[in-house]
Structure 1
Amino acid sequence: MNLEVNFVLPHWLYWAVLLLLPLVVMFLVDRSFRRGGRVSGSTAGEVPVSSHEGAFHPPGNGLTRVIDRISGFSGRYVAYWALIAPFAYCYEVFVRYALNSPTNWVHESMFLMFGMQYLLAGAYALREGGHVRVDILYTRGRPLTKAALDLMTSIFFFVFALALLTTGWTFFSQSMDQNGVFFASGYANEVSFTEWAIQYYPIKFTLFLGALLLLLQGLAQLIRDYQSFRHALPARDGNVPFAWFLVILAIVLGAITLFEIVNIVVNDYQPFALSVEHSLANVGIGALTALMFGSLMIVLMAGLPLAFVTGGLGVIFLYLVGDQFMLNMMPSRIFPMMTNYQLSAIPLFIFMAAVLEKAGLIEELFDVVYKWMGGLKAGLAIATIVASTLLAAMVGVIGAAVVTMGLIALPAMLKRHYDPEIALGSIMAGGTLGILIPPSILAIIYGVVAQQSVGELYLGSLIPGLMLAGMYAFYVWFRGKLNPRTAPPLPPEDRVSMKEKLRLLRNMLAPITLVVVVLGVIFTGLATPVEAAGIGTFGAMVVAAMHGRLTWPNLHAACMTTLVATAMVMWIIFGATIFVGFYILQGGQSFVQELISGAGLGPYGVLAIMMLLLIALGMFLDWVGILLLAVPIFVPLIQPLEFDGLFGLPGVSAADVSLWFGVIYLVNMQMSFLSPPFGYALFYIKGVCPPHITMAQIFRSSLPFLGIQALGLFLVIVFPALITWLPDMVYG
């Protein structure tokens, strides 16, 4: 009996679903809210937006309100696309295994859909403050200084957005049929290479449209920055001479930018006499390295979001070293990333976590572990670490884990008179396990950049992740045993019977089964990580329905949380791929490799330098930025080296070096979240702490766990089998 299905989604139906489904969902969501529907669960997201009480909030004007509405509508519109993917991937897995009818169109339709979503969501994320900024110095500035810095650094944002707008239009117009549309200029109706043969020009059009939306939202932000400057100036709330210097510098940079725009519009091959185009063409790679990374650190410290720092500087150096035609490298670097199949697992895993969180399962998870382990010395801290480990297997997103556990576990521990440093440290360290415990978002991005199997990375990181969780738990238990007053167990009257514990455990059967299924289909090879993420998201919706929490308001909140978190990650990738791609094109990769290998160090010496550089970068940069800046340079250097082992212990086989280094990198990145002065977990937890807990306490609480992470890093280097044993067992 032949059960094969030969259905291929018609192009018109694909575009109709993308165009009409969001409108239907908007109607249902709005109707639910009008009838009293509410969002359940907490509002923990990947990037909590800080708001200082008493701070001036610029009112904007009619134009900014119109732009905000446009960004809000476009963001909400594309956010609801995420609802399609779980059903599409479940269909693909079903027809492949049950009906022996694998498809190409399901995968292609979904990663193209997410690629368009990334681009169009950038403006909404900017409106919501979702783009990560390295604000070490920025947060310490007075309102006048901040406003002046915002005005000055906006030049880099507009350089990036304008360049993407113009090159994106060219990229789009080249993909159309030259004979059919007046603005087409290149190919004859470019289509994908699969049998589905979808037309590419609508997807490429989102490069232009996303840049346009981003540019408009940037204009609204510029108006508000100017209002903030005008408000703070009469009060002299900051360093007035320095603020005026920054504003004048912004005017000068803006004038230069306008002059160069005219030069590009008017001239092709012979620039104006005063133009800076091609002015750095003869600069050597050493000086170019100093210029690029020196300017990167300066602008980062000024508080501009990382995506626009790297993207803007990448555009500037493309123009200074090359010419206006080199700017066309931008869409050719971004398009492969926005349509990368593996990266589409990122929004799916985030959406899965958001649905579970809105279903209230994270609170229930902590309650179960809390009741089971609360009677131990430091039981609440151990329960926090265990719950964080389970949460990491559901979430894979660091900020959500730290913020959520901070909202749930911190009040419980402080109420029981825990030492704040033990309470804070256990939450932050446990929250960072999402870097290692599958399904890690960072592992997905690393696999794409380093061309490493994500499934192998997941298996390789499982034992180190569980090992670190055990080390954290042992540390807090030992502290509680040395001094029970710092981490007291639950009093006998608050403990529950074994019967009640088993009843509570039954409540967690569905989400734990979901995690086992998702990781199981990845490890056994039955489904790719992307398909597993789709299945997991569908399963999360089923679990939410079982708990009576699958409501339109909850789905809306999950979609919007997913959109901001995904846009933040992907726009950093877009900006960094331009900056790093240009640097590698200029010979930067070879320069760094020769610099490190020329030091005369052995393989482990080279590895030690890399680890120290990553730790130093982790003190200041975002984890995605570090990956995009360092991994493309480090991986080609580390792969040919021979690691024969330390202290007479077994080494690493040549076939396993890339996997081993990948997991070592993930362990190292855990440290970046706890490293003062700008470990992200430090600021995530500060956002949910009581007012009496200071940053100094938070810094101190991170240090013991930072030491444990350093010990874990040392162990996986000395004992590589901790990483390689499980992948070798599963994959041979």
Structure 2
Amino acid sequence: MSQPRRVRGCFCVFDSFSGGLNSMELNYVLPHWLYWSVLLLLPPFMMFMVWRSKAKGQAVTPTSETFTQGEEPMAGTPRGFFFRGVDGLSMFTGTFVAYWSIIAVFVYSYEVIARYAFNSPTNWAHEAMFLMFGMQYLISGAYCLRMDGHVRVDVLYTRLGPAASAALDILTSVVFYLFILILTFTAWTFFARSMSSEVWFFATGWRNETSLSEWGIQYFPIKFAMVLAGVLLLLQGTARLLKDIAVFRAAIKSYEKAKAPLWGMVILAALLGLLLLWEIFNIMVLDGDYERVIFTLEGVLADIGIGTLTLLMTGALLIVLLAGLPLAFVTGGLGVMFIYLVGDHFMLNIIPSRIFPLMTDYQLSAIPLFIFMAAMLEKAGLIEDLFDVVYHWIGALRGGLAIATIAAATLLAAMVGVIGAAVVTMGIIALPAMLKRGYDPKIALGAIMAGGTLGILIPPSILAIIYAVVAGQSVGELYLGALLPGLLLSAMYMTYVGVRAGLNPKLGPAMPVEERVDFPTRLRMLRNMLAPILLVAVVLGAIFTGLATPVESAGIGTLGALLVAAMHGRLNWVNIHDACMMTLKATSMVLWIIFGATVFVGFYILQGGQAFIQDLIMGTGLGPYGILILIMIALVLLGMFLDWVGILLLAVPIFVPLVVGLAFEGVLGLPGVPPDKIALWFGVLYLVNMQMSFLSPPFGYALFYMRGVAPPGVDMATIYKSSLPFLALQTLGLTLCVVFPGIILWLPSLAYG
């Protein structure tokens, strides 16, 4: 069939109806001017509508802040003109780009309809959206910093008191400036070259670099977002540094311990700052002319061996992480430092070229969309309804409330895909109910934490998306492979609770008779869950059947979440605004960790680090399964200290090539893993392992999520003890997946062959 003529800015419908809708073709090419106009004009319209709604007193659904805690900026600090201006600018730019997520919902829905209803896929929808999200990731970094949303390793930082914490912030700010300054400078050159054949912005000879696709969108605005992100972060980081100095000056006066170490950190920060400025002067003014340079650290480690470099990079990473600097700036700053010390200032230009592919990665667009879907479902009040329905169906069993919590968390995982969301949400909803009814605190806490972390495994897992991007895997296959292990672990948790409560009813009393409802009432309660369950079925069904990509499914799911919220009378401008801001903060946190880690890990691999680690592990003399166990142990240990995104970006690029090169022929005479399925199999094992790391004392993230919502009478020792039985069940589940790889591979093989 011949293709109809493509006309920009209009619809052309194939003039034949013999084959119904499938024989119709809908062709619409988004004009460039319209694309940029929508990005520029929609946010002001949204801001006006939200402002008007708030002025009219429009009700907003309370939120548990399940995956973006801390919506208030740092308190108790100066509020002068500069601080108000910088904070206001970060807030404005963050809000501006946050509303872009709404555009993607309708564009991806349009793409799916155009493809299947009119047999006319677009050549612009996917590119338009992943470029839009790429700009959003970058520009939102300053907003996330202003809201204290960037993840830091909270081992020592908060235990030191305000004076010591402020001194550490001042000292580690040097690493922050190292990353952001170099990113801004190199991004400027990266941007300018997309506009002109010369380096400088006002040069002649415009090039106007465009994408290589048929749509041919201009690249210089996308690349300029990297420059803008650097400038915004420098302003927000400077405001934060001045606030830290003010906090330090106020707190040091009443500091009762030795003050010399704290003043030493501040003085060291000043000296390192001067050194940083000197090196920038050498690069920018002297251009590395060694005959004119008095002193420089450029290339001082050029002759260092990979073993020594590994120790230096690992040691520096641990030290700065423990000092409390957010992970994104730790890895980015240290990456810049070692590039300069081992190489030269010309090598610093790889930084924007490492980040830009992530800005334009199609699969990463699913992350903000799935988070947006989760936020809208929460705003619709569905999470509490979900728990209430499940509780009334199985609460009459011994341990029924804890079993209902795990079942609800499993369903919640299939709705949100956001790690940690269910732990906080179920902790707020289910923990008071269980403690009130006399449940053993360890059973109650363990059920919430174990069930809440199932979002790591059960689709649509955000972690699975990032793993697929890093490891070059199919998201759909990974989702299918993780489904059965996730359901297996959920069933093991519920069985454990049921057996424990059955043997000892005091651990988990059944629902009181007066709270039980009859069967017709329970059936009527199910009506409230039909829409969200249908939504989950549509989203996962579209992914598993291949009808839509995970990104498109996320867009359709988010549109469905908006409709569900409307059905529940919760769709209003203020709730949409809150969902957009929650999405922006969570997405920015994840993507900036990826940006920083790609600089750090990319340089290490470039220096031969991957081959060094592989030789080191292979030198142990262990067989394939022994090496696998060693890797699993290393991942659990990393999970005690590092954020899940950090572990993925630091470890997976090194471990996946090593594992794929091994032969797993089975244990105990059981079937092994086909060579072409090893990466998929290891990916799911990694996801199970990350769930274990969330429950691993002393610093598993789920333990601290739980502590944040537990009543004062529940101490950390109780939380630690409650995690151990479920950690043992996770170990058993991981072992079963290793011994019986069919648990992982059966569904992908069934669907994809």
Deviation at 1:708, TM superposition (A): 1.1
Native 8 Å contact 2:167 2:262 kept in 1 = yes
The partner residue of 2:107 within 88, 91, 94 is: 88
CA distance in 1, matches of 2:310, 2:199: 46
Amino acid in the other structure paired with 2:498: W
- Gap change, CA 1:315 and 1:546, over 3 Å in 2: same
Structure 1 residue 104 displacement after superposition? 2.1
Matches within 5 A, 1:387-406: 387-406=408-427
8 Å Cα contact 1:480-1:486 kept in structure 2:
yes
1:260 maps to which residue? 279
* Residue of structure 2 in register with 1:607 after alignment: 628
The amino acid that maps onto 1:712 is: G
Quote how far apart the aligned CAs of 1:408 are.
0.8
How much does 1:61 deviate?
Answer: 2.4
The match for 1:411 is: 432
CA contact (8 A) 2:189 2:200 kept: no
Aligned to 2:185: 166
Match of 2:218 among 196, 199, 202: 199
Alpha carbons 2:694, 2:701 under 8 Å: kept: yes
TM normalised by structure 1 equals 0.98
Equivalent residues in 2 for 1:251-400 (5 A)?
Answer: 251-271=270-290, 272-400=293-421
Q: Verify the 8 A CA contact 1:142 1:237 in the aligned structure 2.
A: no
Q: Quick one: structure 1 residues 587 and 185, their matched pair in 2 at CA, closer, same or farther if it must change by over 3 Å?
A: farther
Equivalents in 2 of 1:450, 1:8: separation in Å? 33
Task: Determine which of 504, 510, 513 is the counterpart of 1:483.
Answer: 504
Q: Counterpart in 2 of 1:621?
A: 642
Residue 701 of structure 1: how far off its partner (Å): 1.2
* Residue number in structure 1 paired with 2:13: none
Contact 2:419 2:462 in 1 (8 A): no
| Aligned pair partner of 2:567 in 532, 539, 546 | 546
User: 1:339/1:642 Cα in 2 relative to 1: closer, same or farther (>3 Å)?
Assistant: same
Q: Deviations 1:87-133 (Å, cap 9, x if unpaired)?
A: 10110001111111111200000000000000000000011111000
Give the SS at the match of 2:94. Answer: helix
Deviation at 1:407, TM superposition (A): 1.1
Q: Pick from 20, 32, 35: which aligns with 1:14?
A: 35
- Secondary structure of the corresponding residue to residue 40 of structure 1: coil
Alignment counterpart, residue 496 of structure 1, candidates 510, 513, 517: 517
Look up the equivalent residue of 1:464 and give its one-letter code.
Answer: P
The answer to whether the 8 A contact 1:149-1:303 is kept is: yes
The CA deviation string for residues 181-209 of structure 1, in whole angstroms up to 9 with x for no partner, is 85358972111111100000000000000
Equivalent position of 2:652 in the other structure: 631
Q: Secondary structure at the match of 1:190?
A: coil
Q: Which amino acid aligns with 1:542?
A: L
- Residues 176 and 187, structure 1, Cα contact 8 Å, conserved in 2: yes
Question: Is contact 2:193–2:199 with CA below 8 Å preserved after alignment?
Answer: no
Tell me, in whole angstroms, the C-alpha distance in 1 between the residues paired with 2:438 and 2:473.
46
Aligned match for 1:183, one of 176, 197, 202: 202
Alignment deviations for residues 429-468 of structure 1 (CA, whole Å, 9 cap, x no partner) = 1110000000000000000000011100000000000000
> Compared with structure 1, are the counterparts of its residues 126 and 135 closer, same or farther at alpha carbon in structure 2 (3 Å cutoff)?
same
Q: Match of 1:562?
A: 583
Matched letter for residue 290 of structure 1? L
Offset, 1:253: 1.1
The one-letter code matched in structure 2 to 1:504 is: M
Cα deviation, 1:245-277, whole Å, max 9, x if unaligned, reads 211221121111111111111222434242101
1:715 aligns with 2:714: no
- Whether 2:230 is the aligned partner of 1:211: answer yes
Counterparts of 1:33-48 in structure 2, within 5 Å, are 33-48=54-69
Provide Cα deviations, 1:635-673, integer angstroms capped at 9, x if missing partner: 111112111111221111111111100000000000111
SS of corresponding position for 1:508: helix
What secondary structure does 1:687 align onto? Answer: helix
Cα gap change, 1:606 to 1:186, in 2 (>3 Å): farther
- 1:237 deviates by 5.1
Equivalent of residue 704 in structure 1, options 719, 725, 735: 725
Any conservation in 2 of the 1:173–1:185 contact (CA below 8 Å)? no
Matched with 2:7 is none
**Residue in structure 2 matching 1:522, options 536, 543, 546:** 543
Partner of 1:24: 45
Could you tell me how far 1:50 is from its partner in structure 2?
A: 9.9
Letter paired with 2:586? A
AA aligned to 1:644 is E
2:479 alignment partner, one of 445, 454, 458: 458
Please say if 1:128 is aligned against 2:126. no
2:131 paired with 1:107 = no
The answer to whether 1:673 aligns with 2:694 is yes
Partner Cα distance (2:72, 2:433) in 1: 25
Could you tell me how far 1:685 is from its partner in structure 2? 1.5
| Unaligned ranges ≥5, structure 1 | none
The residue type equivalent to 2:320 in the other structure is V
Deviation at 1:409, TM superposition (A): 0.8
Closer, same or farther in 2 for the Cα pair 1:237/1:112, shift >3 Å? farther
Instruction: Tell me by how many angstroms 1:57 deviates.
Output: 2.1
1:727 maps to 748
CA-CA distance at 1:674 after TM superposition: 1.0
1:336: Cα distance to partner?
0.4
1:43 Cα shift? Answer: 3.2
Report the CA distance between 1:241 and its aligned residue: 2.1
Q: Any gaps of 5 or more consecutive residues in structure 2?
A: 1-15, 17-22
Q: CA deviation at 1:238?
A: 5.0
Superimposed CA distance per residue, residues 290-309 of structure 1 (whole angstroms, 9 cap, x where no aligned partner):
00011000100000000000
Q: Output the CA distance in 2 between the equivalents of 1:66 and 1:360.
A: 36
Task: Determine which of 643, 655, 675 is the counterpart of 2:676.
Answer: 655
User: Offset of 1:404 from its aligned partner?
Assistant: 1.0
Deviates more, 1:601-610 or 1:452-461: 601-610
Contact kept, 8 Å, 1:45 with 1:565, in 2: the verdict is: no
Residue in structure 1 matched with residue 172 of structure 2 by the alignment: 153
Identity of aligned residues (%): 65
Aligned-pair Cα RMSD in Å: 1.6
Which of 442, 447, 451 aligns to 1:421? It is 442
Aligned equivalent of 1:236, options 255, 261, 269? 255
- Check whether the contact 1:159–1:312 (CA below 8 A) recurs between aligned residues: yes
Instruction: Give secondary structure in 2 for the equivalent of 1:211.
Output: helix
